[in-house]
């Protein structure tokens, strides 16, 4: 490929990243006929502008999950998914709410549930729960703070989870793969698997558009997922393929915009 100036090259890197979901330094160096040092500088600058996340040997797309928990920042599809997922929760259940804006959308629908115990690895989720009038009993995992996921991770968090048994775990996903399961950009997947291990039911909450995202890291295989709560935009064939893994697929009707 012909050499380009810096801005052209960086725009091309973003285009390639949007197309493939990840890029590698060595491949970009060959593609743009420039040094790996230059490519790393490009990636560092693009990351500082909030356009990607650097990883060892390359970069990945920014996760779509925002740490903001206000309803104004939640899409109608996320709100609909949360409404459907909340119907699965019974009074006095012991539940886990993972970090992420889709799972956090559950919070406005919890006050009608009595006697809940909620474990979370997210400070934002914990604070939002404690602001509710009918607040549940809130437990925090503790652990090591992970800047990418804005949540606690690590062995201490896993040990805290294993000290309890839960009825349900509500987990998000950066991507969905009809054959493999839920996928993530984050290479730290052991906490999600621990959440699944200590829960009778694992409910993944994810928009149907995440089936279009090609992400390398499997977070949970379908064999560990009880229910997928998604929106009614899911392709019927994809729904059937997921159901063939023994997963119950709930399709929430998208809320109308007024």
User: Does residue 146 lie in a domain region?
Assistant: yes
Query: Phi, psi (5° rounding) for residue 154?
Result: 100, 180
Q: Are 194 and 114 part of one and the same domain? A: yes
User: Does residue 131 lie in a domain region?
Assistant: yes
> How many angstroms from the chain centroid is the CA of residue 22?
17
> How many angstroms from the chain centroid is the CA of residue 195?
14
Would you state the structure tokens that stand for residue 155, as one six-digit string?
């062995």
User: Does residue 19 lie in a domain region?
Assistant: yes
How far CA 164 is from CA of 53, 94, 195, in Å, comes to: 34, 9, 10
Q: Are 209 and 244 part of one and the same domain? A: yes
Sequence-ordered list of residues with C-beta below 8 angstroms from that of 97, at least 6 positions apart, any chain:
103, 104, 106, 107, 118, 119, 120, 122, 125, 170
Element (H, E) at 51: none
Count the neighbouring beta carbons within 10 Å of the beta carbon of residue 188.
17
Q: How far apart are CA 145 and CA 153, in angstroms?
A: 6
- Prediction pTM value: 0.73
Q: Are 118 and 154 part of one and the same domain? A: yes
Give the per-residue pLDDT at 63.
Answer: 58
Q: How far apart are the first and last CA of the chain?
A: 49
User: Does residue 66 lie in a domain region?
Assistant: no
**Structural domain count of the chain:** 2
User: Does residue 258 lie in a domain region?
Assistant: no
Q: Using CB atoms within 10 A of its CB, is residue 238 exposed (0-12), middle (13-18) or buried (19+)?
A: middle
Give the per-residue pLDDT at 130.
Answer: 83
Q: Are 192 and 236 part of one and the same domain? A: yes
> CATH number, domain at 12?
1.10.10.10
Count the neighbouring beta carbons within 10 Å of the beta carbon of residue 108.
17
User: Does residue 1 lie in a domain region?
Assistant: no
Q: How far apart are CA 117 and CA 112, in angstroms?
A: 14
Q: Are 50 and 161 part of one and the same domain? A: no
Q: How far apart are CA 227 and CA 236, in angstroms?
A: 16
Count the neighbouring beta carbons within 10 Å of the beta carbon of residue 146.
17
User: Does residue 135 lie in a domain region?
Assistant: yes
> CATH number, domain at 215?
3.40.50.1360
* Residue range of the domain that includes 209: 71-252
For the chain, which residues score pLDDT lower than 70?
Answer: 1-4, 48-50, 62-74, 133, 148, 186-188, 255-258
Q: Are 162 and 196 part of one and the same domain? A: yes
Sheet strands (E) in the chain: 22-24, 53-55, 58-60, 94-97, 117-120, 137-140, 144-146, 151-153, 166-171, 175-177, 181-184, 199-205, 217-221, 227-231, 248-252
């Amino acid at each position: 490929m012909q050499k380009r100036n810096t801005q052209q090259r960086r725009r091309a890197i973003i285009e390639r990243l949007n197309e493939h979901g990840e890029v590698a330094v060595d491949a970009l160096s060959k593609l743009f006929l420039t040094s790996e040092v230059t490519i790393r500088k490009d990636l560092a600058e693009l990351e500082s502008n909030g356009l990607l996340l650097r990883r060892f040997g390359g970069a990945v797309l920014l996760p779509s999950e925002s740490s903001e928990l206000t309803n104004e920042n939640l899409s109608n599809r996320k709100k609909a998914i949360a409404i459907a997922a909340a119907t699965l929760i019974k009074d006095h259940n012991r539940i886990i709410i993972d970090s992420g804006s889709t799972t956090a959308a559950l919070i406005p629908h919890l006050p009608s549930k009595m006697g809940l115990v909620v474990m979370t690895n997210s400070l934002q989720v914990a604070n939002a729960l404690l602001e509710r009038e009918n607040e549940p009993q809130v437990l925090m995992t503790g652990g090591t703070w992970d800047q990418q996921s804005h949540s606690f991770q690590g062995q201490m968090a896993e040990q805290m989870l294993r000290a309890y048994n839960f009825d349900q775990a509500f987990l998000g996903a950066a991507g969905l793969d009809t054959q493999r399961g839920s996928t993530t950009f984050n290479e730290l997947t052991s906490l999600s698997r621990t959440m699944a291990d200590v829960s009778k039911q694992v409910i993944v909450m994810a928009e149907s558009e995440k089936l279009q995202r090609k992400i390398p890291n499997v977070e949970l295989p379908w064999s560990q997922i009880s229910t997928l709560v998604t929106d009614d935009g899911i392709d019927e064939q994809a729904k059937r393929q997921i159901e063939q893994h023994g997963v119950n697929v709930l399709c929430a009707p998208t809320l109308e915009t007024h």
